[in-house]
Every structure is written in structure tokens, then in C-alpha cells.
Amino acid sequence: MTVTLRTAKTRTSLGQVNPELSRFAKRTFSCATMARGGTLPHPFRHWHGSINNRMDNVRIGIVGLGNIGQIHVNNLLEGKVERGVLTAVADAFPDKLPEYEAKGLKTFDSGEALIASGEIDALMIATPHFQHTTLGIAALEAGLHVMVEKPISAHKADAERLVAAAEARPELTFSGMFQMRVEPRYQKIRELVQGGELGDLIRVIWIMTDWFRAEAYYQSSDWRATWKG
């Protein structure tokens, strides 16, 4: 991957980046930031409410045990997230749950059951896209901090409802992931642009030649690449 910035002052190229670092930085750092009350550019905010003592652990639940959900699970169980303790998971496919029960986690067959369980302080939503809005609003209404995997909703109106629910509860932390938002290379680009080191930004060219998804990817789940989300 090569990212090129063209500005009024200069032309800068940030070339190849360690693929192992970039592959998992987004997952690990986003999870760690949520758990320890760190800050990233909006919409990440400090923890409030029941987690005022910064020495307290944050009980985290994950709903959705697909590819991304499992990455978050592993990061938490491997102790990579400061103060973050995975206490419970949920998935609509019951055959996935025994593996997590064996690891000492509470398991639930729906996000709604996990939200109502009282076992968690924060919920990470890694379900199919069409569930992001309803689960996010339900979690916020239950007084839980929320992180939603990208996209926060499948439709603009749903996204607006979810954001409105979060803004109505400023004592809670709500955050949504964006494509590669917290990878080090893009954080550096943001730093350079906002710091004025490159002058006025005129054009951004993003060339990515190593991303390809075969038809099998889209056939793996009936919600992928559909308006249904």
C-alpha cells in the first residue's frame, strides 16, 4: 500500500508499512483505548459513570463471534488490553458458545440477553451490520458504554438514530470504528495534516493493490454486500 498526499507545499509519500503491524493495530488499539479510558479523535471519549476510578477494571462483553469478534476476544483474553476484562460473549449460533464457556466466560444466545445480564460495563458490537443500530441503542439505554464495529449502521437514518441515542447520554462513552482509523500510519498522516507541516491539503491519493475478495467471501454470509447489511 502507498498513500500519497499532495498539498500546496509539498508532495509526500508514505510507502510500505510492516504488514503484521498494520493488520492488527486497528483491532488491538481500538479495544485497548475503549477499555482504559484513553482518547482518540472524536467520537472516542473518556469513560464516565460507573468507571470513575481509573484503577477499576472494565467488564467487557462482545456480541458477534465472527472474524472480527474473535480478534477482539483474543486480544482481551491474551491480556493485551489494559484494564479490559472480557466477562461475557453472545452469538446467535449456539454451537459457537461451548468454546467460550470452557474459557470461563458467561455466554448468551442473543445480544439482548447479554445487555440485560448485568455482567458487563461495556459492549462491543461485532454482529452483521443490520443489528448495529438496535443493539447499540438497547445497550445505551441500559447504561452501557458502547463500541460499534464499522459501519455503525447500514442506513443513514439508522445511523442518525444511534448517534442521537449516544448524544442523549453524555455520561456514557460511544465510539464507532472506521476503516483503518487507528492504524499508526493514518494517525501519522492526520498528525501531519492537522499540524500544518504539509500546508493546505489539496488532494489525497490512496493506492491499495493488495486487497481482493473473491466471490466466496460475499457468499459466506447472506448479509455481506447487501443493502440489508
Q: What CATH number does residue 55 fall under?
A: 3.40.50.720
C-alpha 172/C-alpha 115 separation (Å) is 15
Q: Is the peptide bond before 98 cis (omega within 30 degrees of 0)?
A: no
Q: Is residue 115 part of a domain?
A: yes
Q: Is residue 211 part of a domain?
A: no
Domain that holds residue 151: 50-176
Residue 214: its pLDDT value, please? 84
DSSP string of 90-151, one letter each residue:
E-S-GGGHHHHHTTT-EEESSHHHHHHTS--SEEEE-S-GGGHHHHHHHHHHTT-EEEEPSS
15 Cβ contact partners less than 8 Å away, ≥ 6 residues apart: 2
229 residues of the chain, pLDDT tens digit each: 555 555 444 444 443 333 333 333 334 334 444 443 333 333 333 343 444 444 589 999 999 999 899 999 999 999 988 899 999 999 999 999 999 999 999 999 999 999 999 999 999 999 999 999 999 999 999 999 999 999 999 899 999 999 999 999 999 999 998 777 778 888 898 898 899 888 888 888 888 777 777 888 888 877 777 766 5
Q: Is residue 73 part of a domain?
A: yes
Instruction: Please give the model's pTM, rounded to 2 decimal places.
Output: 0.70
C-alpha 122/C-alpha 145 separation (Å) is 4
Q: How many domains does the chain have?
A: 1
